[in-house]
Amino acid sequence: IGIVLFASMIYFVEIGKWKVTDDFPFGAYYRQDATGYDHEVTAFNTIPRCFWWVTVTATTVGYGDLYPTSPLGKCIGAFTMIVGLVVLALPITILGSNFANEYQKIQEE
């Protein structure tokens, strides 16, 4: 559910506006680029493609192939990372620590 929620949020924030240009005669969605002064074709063009961004961001891998450029998109990105740390990283650390404790007990027997 979290992936669908965050993917939908980033999609609607980063989709931009539909424009027909010489480069894209059938049109494409354009968004503000990272500098804020120019426009580029958005990388967040479908919600399923945004699933990839949420997965990579929440697991704190961050390949850099998709990234938000709007201020609200960056806030959603930061919140996605924090949720990923709380939901994934903290429980995995606790499980790993408990596994190490149990393994040590078995080794002592």
pLDDT of residue 4: 95
Q: Say which DSSP state 19 is in.
A: E
- Which of 55, 63, 57 lies closest to 77 in space, CA to CA? 57
The 3-state DSSP class for residue 67 equals coil
- pTM, 2 dp: 0.78
pLDDT of residue 59: 86
Distance CA 44, CA 11 (A): 6
Q: Say which DSSP state 63 is in.
A: -
Reported as a single tens digit per residue, the pLDDT across 25-53 is: 999 999 999 888 999 999 999 999 999 99
Q: Count of H helices and E strands in the chain? A: 4, 3
For residue 62, pLDDT beyond 90: no
Distance CA 52, CA 33 (A): 20
pLDDT of residue 60: 80
pLDDT of residue 61: 85
Average pLDDT over residues 53-80: 91
